[in-house]
Structure 1
Amino acid sequence: MDVLVYVDPSPRGEWALSVAAQLAAAGTAALHLLATEEDAALDPDLLSRARARLSPGPSVTESVRPGPAERAVVAEASARRPGLVVVPPAGRGAIARMLKGSRVATVVRSVRAPVLVARRPPERIGRVLAALSGRESTARVAAAALDLERDLGVRVAFVHVASEVALPFGAPPGAGEPPSSSEAVRRALRARGREDALVEREGLVIEEVLEEFDRGAFHLLLVGSRGEEAAGFGTEDVTVRLLLRCPGSTLIVPRL
């Protein structure tokens, strides 16, 4: 898998490199490092230090693009079509404006690959929580979680929240929540032999998902994305709000 890693000059940039190093150590990823021209000009050794941080490991390539950060990431992802994009949360420099409010929606909506926002990752990511809606995104999020389990040896659990405020599912605006979303989740996991790993909760989606994340001491949250045609994609989108409030790393699985 080709992994695009945004290299940020702030201390938080180390979080993205830590995740990239774990992917490289698993032998499942070819890494490409990206910096903005502005950051590289201010710190000419930025990419070489990042490369050294990932050694020894697989072959690592690198490039620079004009900022701001979100523009550079989207442009590089469009050109390379990576299997995964890894970025840190907001820090100083070009990335500082990237993952706030509608900037998050811009990146997630524009990049046709899963986006992993690395936040305070442990030395080894070992516990993953996948939030399942019961709609179109369920199979994709479940598959992505089980791929991580296979490739990285992580422990995966699943959560579904029965609520009037639905998790992102990719349906047209106004389509409504199906009456059997819980059964759809159970059916999807039953087909994969993982129904026993499901926790079902009731309440407001964001609060319940984050409470389960904290309760289980998880390191990474997986959630689906609505896609660019969904109404209200912005600061009020459930995906973005989960990303901004999650205390750990978040992997957003895009709509196909």
Structure 2
Amino acid sequence: MDASLLQCEHRGATLTLWLNRPEVHNAFDEHLIAALTEALRAADADSAVRVVVLAGHGKSFCAGGDLDWMRRMAGFSHEDNLCDAGALATMLATLAGLSKPTIARVHGAALAGGTGLVAACDIAIATPEARFGTTEVRLGLIPATISPYVIRAIGARAAQRYFLTGERFDAAQALRLGLLHEVCEADTLDARVQALAEDLLAGAPQAQADCKRLVADVAGRGIDPALIDDTTTRIARARGSAEARAGIAAFFDKRAPDWRS
């Protein structure tokens, strides 16, 4: 992984991945995409990492695709564009599918692919000055690879508007749409992210991974006998797990469970 593009900061069981191209507002190209994919996979495989925070150095979180990268893409063959777009789609899927909880720490611009990164995280918190937008249409492009995550976050109706207009919107609107969970002042952003990370560390790691799969599998499904059977099986399996036995025993013993030590 190229440390000049992406910096890893460990603080206890929390890993912060800092996008580190401030001179271009952390816009990503094929190299940053590869570095972030590698770092996410490594974090998922590291049992010492419990929470992953995605952040950006400089004035912005992520301004989307790098202009030089997009200029080069215009000259690619169809096969080359498939490969290049596949790398971006893989990075987003890796982020969204991480077994550990993820937090987007957002400030400044979070445009196009930057909006996609926010939507692909489990929890998103931003400063009031943050700005969002699926601006691809204004360059003759479409927000295809980020669309599953943005639509999941804000719904099809809102996505239809913002995909078509390419207009930018502020943090207050992002909160109303569901893209953000919280907005806080810049001088309290790091403290709020840390507090959220501490809340996440209080949960059992396997239970959190199962919760992420539960949401992904249940969202949008009709409540029918198949879904009821599925969720019944999931809670029965969780009740019988070693993690649940340890957590319940710790509760009655009035002590912290093992995963909090």
TM, length-normalised to structure 1:
0.26
Q: Which has the larger radius of gyration?
A: 2
**Which structure's residues are more often helix, by fraction?**
2
**Which structure's residues are more often strand, by fraction?**
1
TM, length-normalised to structure 2:
0.26
